[in-house]
A and B are shown apart, each in its own frame.
Chain A
């Protein structure tokens, strides 16, 4: 009893985000995810507060843990000063540390986030870059984005002196020394280890699910598949 709770309390966001919840449900009332998904942040906080290992492990393995959009609308409204969003961030960290995230459809998507946003950070120094937002993967971006995407070398230089080249300005190429520092920060502070952890657990799960590996096919499946049943409508 309390094994996972104690682990969670090592995360400063838990200490900041949870003192004592009285289950009023204001967080659920203002939550954009609760209006869309079968989701109730009040219950997450309530489960964590019980310190029940079985119940917390079930949460760490569930889709429920991954519905929150981290808008933090819950934070200013809680009459007790709790932050359910912080509690969820700590739970998500633990779910990935323990490899439980691969046990749910929404949790498995962490690999897609690592392969897109995570790798963009380490390759370009930015979370996103125009070539990451392909019209094929982003039809909702519309024809103007498609025009920009196809004419990037004509469009962007109108607004930046250093599109994909060294210098200051938007969408510049970041110099090698800076990228070296960024990579060393990821190594020293545990970011690289965390990326590797996501890959390792995903590889294990992919094989368990019958894929050869967590390769492109697995990536595309977790990035695009929605089994339904998550939402209210």
Chain B
């Protein structure tokens, strides 16, 4: 396929004045990334991003677990848009890929079936007294960062270059399914050639790795992870991707989806404990980054201020390759340098055989 196929799928991304909503999963596992997005956009790129305390979950995990009816999530979505309208904003940006898919789906459904929009407006008014305008521009936060990737490149302190070899770092990019598989024209590059992360990687000096299962789902599968009895589905799909990418020797993985970042990190731990398999070049795991963490490192942010100590797979091998200066002893410290203990060691970071107890996971 032609390398420029992504250009057939372009989307308009607002340049400034964003109404920002958080992600349920990311605030638990990657709160530093959400903070970094706001810091980078406001302080490094100079954009106006507003966040309000009154927004809630979009309830998307409940919707895709089939416990929250469509009429309900539509009304929750309408309330988020009402908050944006009342704040005087028109550009809505979501930190979560599931939410981005939800907002897109509900707007498209209202467009296709106008009676559903009418009913939603009635429900919202009855429940809250609020009214809303639809956003003029809807973007995922990775779209926003893609939009400003050259502004970030202009301030780059640590490009995605291996300081030992002088060659570009090899990066696997993984796009959350609900970014563009639902509505390909709403994603940069569509569902087959998404360019939203690849564009950042290339602008910041790295090399994008292609591999056979590049577009395969990470294996979240909502009920297939949330319910313990079903988790084999989830690890099996991550396993398929990791096996597929291993021969291409990536230096790190970057994703734009809350679940994908977490699963590709945590399932590497599980697979190492259960089977002794690791996927990095050094016999350890492959670090998995969010795009904000990637941008933060490029801009010279401290990895522990970005929250990278919250990953299960150690990121230090990548930090060393990038020439990032960091304090190893500060990794797991609490506020004001307070010692709060360290996590137990894990096979995925040690290049050792699994412990007997973990084989029964």
Interface residues of A (CB under 8 A from B): 11-13, 15-16, 32-33, 35-37, 66-73, 75-76, 89, 92-93, 96, 106, 109-110, 112-114, 116-118, 121, 125-130, 133, 137, 139-148, 151, 154-160, 162, 166-172, 174-175, 177-178, 181-182, 184-191, 194-195, 198, 222-226, 231
Contacts and interface: CB of A to CB of B under 8 A. Distances in A.
A118 B27 CA distance: 18
Contact of B57 (A32, A126, A140): A126
Contacts of A155: 310, 334, 340
A144 B127 contact: no
Given A127-B24, A171-B28, A185 B61 contact: no
A189 B75 CA distance: 7
Residue from B27, B101, B342, B343 with most neighbouring chain A CB atoms (10 Å): B27
Q: Which 6 A-B pairs have the closest CB atoms?
A: A69-B221, A191-B72, A154-B334, A170-B27, A147-B343, A159-B31
Contacts of B217: 32, 69, 71, 73
B227 to A, nearest CB: 5
A189 B127 contact: yes
A126 B178 contact: no
B231 A72 contact: no
A188 B28 contact: no
B332 interface: yes
A141 B311 CA distance: 10
B56 interface: yes
A162 B35 CA distance: 12
Interface band, chain B:
35 or more
A178 B32 CA distance: 25
Contacts of A144: 309-312, 343, 346
Contacts of A189: 69, 71-72, 74-75, 123, 127
A142 B79 CA distance: 37
B75 A140 contact: no
Interface in B10-58: 22, 24-28, 31-32, 34-35, 51-54, 56-57
Interface string B230-272: 1111011100100000000000000000000000001101100
Contacts of B124: 185
Contacts of B219: 32, 69
B191 A178 contact: no
A69 B224 contact: yes
Given A32-B237, A140-B269, A181-B79, A171 B69 contact: no
A224 B232 CA distance: 12
B67 A114 contact: yes
Given A72-B101, A117-B226, A143-B344, 9 more contacts: A69-B222, A109-B227, A125-B57, A127-B61, A145-B266, A155-B340, A223-B227, A224-B229, A226-B230
Nearest to B124: A185
Nearest to B334: A154
B233 A33 contact: yes
A185 B233 contact: no
B61 to A, nearest CB: 4
5 contacts: A32-B219, A106-B230, A113-B62, A155-B310, A188-B123
B183 to A, nearest CB: 9
A168 B28 CA distance: 15
Contacts of A140: 231, 235, 266-267, 269-270, 361
Contacts of A223: 227-229
A106 B233 CA distance: 13
Nearest to B262: A141
Nearest to B35: A159
Contacts of A68: 221
B233 A160 contact: no
B338 interface: yes
Residue from A118, A160, A170, A188 with most neighbouring chain B CB atoms (10 Å): A170
B126 interface: yes
Contact of B223 (A109, A128, A141, A167): A109
Interface string B274-308: 00000000000000000000000000000001010
Contacts of B64: 70
Nearest to B65: A113
A69 B233 contact: yes
A188 B269 contact: no
A117 B28 contact: no
B352 interface: no
A171 B35 CA distance: 12
A188 B127 contact: yes
Given A12-B116, A127-B24, A174 B53 contact: yes
Given A118-B68, A166-B53, A160 B228 contact: no
Contact of B112 (A16, A129, A162): A16
B154 interface: no
Given A125-B57, A147-B342, A194-B67, A71 B221 contact: yes
Given A185-B128, A225-B229, A133 B28 contact: yes
Residue from A13, A109, A172 with most neighbouring chain B CB atoms (10 Å): A109
